[in-house]
Structure 1
Amino acid sequence: MAGFTVRDLVDLYLTEVIEDRVVVDHRTGSKKRVPGARKPKGQAKTRRTLYGDVERTLGDRSAAELRRKHVVEMVKCILDRGANVQAGNVLRELTAAYEYAIGLGKFDDDFANPALLAKASLKQARVRLTSVRGKRVLSDAELKAVLVWLPGSGFSVTQKNVIRLTLWTGARTGEVCQARWSDVDLNLAVWHMRDSKNGAERYVQLPSHAVAFLRQLRLSTKIYLFPSTRTGLSIQQKSLTETKWYLRNSAKARSGTYFKPSQTWFDSISDWSPHDLRRTVRTGLSRLGCRNEVAEAVLGHSRKGIEGAYDLHNYEAECSGYKDGLIIWKPLTVGLSLNGRYCRPAGVSACALFGFNHL
């Protein structure tokens, strides 16, 4: 198909696989919405990934005449700007786009997927297309310092509250950002997470101090626990990363935005990210003596291999036994109001209570 370009290939993959589409029953004329392979957020991300690099650099080329070297050159350009993870994402999606088109007979029978060949070449050259596995865990002293800094930091009140619930539950920041009140039962102290990263719904146990906090929060928010003040929809996870960048680079902040010295990024300790708090929770559960399978269930990790295929127990009862053990920053936040201000309650020793306690 000489007229079938890489742009056509990308559009075919996006519209028929990734994105939601409407199909028409030719017998009845009725229309039916068919969900795409990705959730709305993933659909938008995949389109940006393919159009930002593949379509921009290779879009006008014939898809059948694209060669391994063309794909390798494109990937190297992405690597040159320091975006190793993006390079891996682009290569993965382009490979899948070609595989889909090959399956539909868009190419000759002896056609070889150039993206797949490029992937093999890059692997042979030992080019890293993934991020370095995170290993950052905050010590008790570091965590205490961060939590003393956080209330007065440049994060918005909503962002601070997202970080609080992340640390209290071990949930992913993206999951916390999207939480709805309709899925939270404060009387049972559970949060029914219907839409997790791995696609499996689960129940998140809420510690007593998290329940008390959410009862206050319920008075000021409606559909979402953490809505955007601009749109009313759930706050976006990327806003945490963006705000962190501005706090670290306050001179480059948006026009009209000014951060006081006390609000800028806390650099008295080694760099950390909100996701590192989740890893800190997991490490703390091990300090409690929590069994591995239970700790993994608390975080919502899916099990792999034979264990994942045969052990289908959800460990909800076991997780419940540890929910009030996650008090990493309870001593500080029991005095942290919804407006982000901190007032240490009388008689509470932040130092003494900063370890993990299995209640």
Structure 2
Amino acid sequence: MPDDSACGHNGDVMDGDAFARALATLLNPSRIDSVVNCCVRAVHDADWEGPRTGLLHVRFAEDKPRVADLAEFLWRECMFYALPRRKQEKFRREIAGGDMTAIANCYTAVKNLFIDFNARHPSRASELGEVLAYSLVQEHLRAAQVASKMSLKTAANMPIHGLDGIHALYENGSLTVYFLESKLSGDGRRGVASYAESAAEFLSDRRQYLREYEIVADLGNLDALEGESRQRALDHFDVIGHPELQRRERFVGVICHSEPSHFGKRLPIRDDQPPDIHERDFADRYSADHGALRHAARKQLLKHRADPAKAIVFFVAVPDVRALRRAFYGAMGVQERDLPLDGDEIDIDDDLETGSKDRA
């Protein structure tokens, strides 16, 4: 049975619980459950070989889906998602020191990251999904972000392709690394097919796989740790130099998809019923799709020769993905006429997707 501890840089043994606590300091506050309800949790099932599959949806205000609230929540989460940890700490120190202009500076810095990225890559439209994936993995898997991919993708010498996020959790004597891939889609099944293809491409590309580990070690958030905790984290992400350290790797897919059928069915408004009956009715009908959706996810992963047992899939239903994306940029303060194009990452339908490519 493997030891719960690993040797530090100087050969000293560091308590595994202490390392877990150190890594957990990279977690940012996330209360996505306030705007997204989880109606089927992505838990282990003894009779199912994977992937673990969860179903979530935007919450309701009585009979109305809270799309604007979700968009505003995700924009606020960008303050944590998009900035490297060292920049976050810098703004925190300035605010704590009484410099209230740091709040505006932080807001502007994050907004400029998104604007700069979309100016350079106008046909890409996945940022909303990336922030959603970041928030869900923090809340539901308790795994901290170890590299800010948004800030890296705006660097002139960094490729825009690769994973949407990398998170990690240390427990039970080993590190679990979560590789995140987000998809925006007009249909959950099409979205999971696109995710499975991306997962297979990444897992079959040894060079890109090692590159993601290098990004964490060289450009990630581990520099916010100190002393032995930082060195131990660096050792765990050194897959070449420290192959003996215990690691798990899981590929997480977050499929944010339009669900016009279920959202289109509404119960009548009645004063003698609790206001949350509409959300519960939707959750019951959407939950009934769990079996079909997780089978679709497994089928696609096997088709692309990816291991379903090492995959976790979250389906997130909204009335209209594109409407959510417009609301997200509206919360950011971007006028609709200045919105980035709906690019290849939004798999709505063939004619709309072709139109986006033509405009690009």
The normalised TM-score by structure 2 is: 0.27
Instruction: Report the structure, 1 or 2, having the larger strand content.
Output: 2
The normalised TM-score by structure 1 is: 0.27
- Higher relative contact order (CA closer than 8 Å, sequence separation 6+): 2
